[in-house]
Structures are given as structure tokens and as C-alpha cells.
Amino acid sequence: MSAFADWLAMGGYAGFVWPAYGLAAAVLGGLSLYYWSRHRRSAADLDRLQGSAGRR
């Protein structure tokens, strides 16, 4: 077995180690992307509202 395949196998615990890291990456990565896009949208909305100041 190559060293890389050896590493992937995690000494027989691959089925536990990789899901643990994958789940953490999915939860934190997903939250980061969601908050990032919400932040951008909220800033753009506010800019638009403040830009249309005189028209009300």
C-alpha cells in the first residue's frame, strides 16, 4: 500500500476520522458561506436604500 493510501486508511479508523473532519468542515464552511453572503446582501440593500435618499 502506498503511503498516501496508508494515510487515508487512518489505521482502520477511516470511517470515523474522515466523517468527523468532513462534518466539521461542512458545518463551519456552510455557516461561513451563508453568513458571508447574508453580510454582502445586507450591505448592498442598505447602500441601495441610502442611495435613494432624495426620492422619498
Partner 1 sequence: MLSRFANPARFMRVSGAALPWFGAAAAAVLAVGLVWSLAIAPPDYQQGESVRIMFIHVPAAWMSLSVYLLVAMASAVALVWRHPLAEVAAQAAAPIGAAFTLICLATGSLWGRPMWGTWWVWDARLTSVLVLFFLYLGYIALVNAFDDRDRGARAGSLLALVGVVNLPIIKFSVDWWNTLHQPASVVKLGGPTIATSMLLPLLVMAVGFMLLFGWLLLLRMRTILNERKAEALRLYGQPANRRERAEALTGDAVARS
Size of the site for partner 1 (CB under 8 A): 28
Q: Are 9 and 1 in contact (CB under 8 A)?
A: yes
| 38 makes contact with partner 1 (CB under 8 A) | yes
| 33 makes contact with partner 1 (CB under 8 A) | no
Q: How far is the CB of 42 from partner 1 (least distance, A)?
A: 4
Contacts with partner 1, 9-28, as mask; x by CB under 8 A: -xxxx--xx-xxx-xx--xx
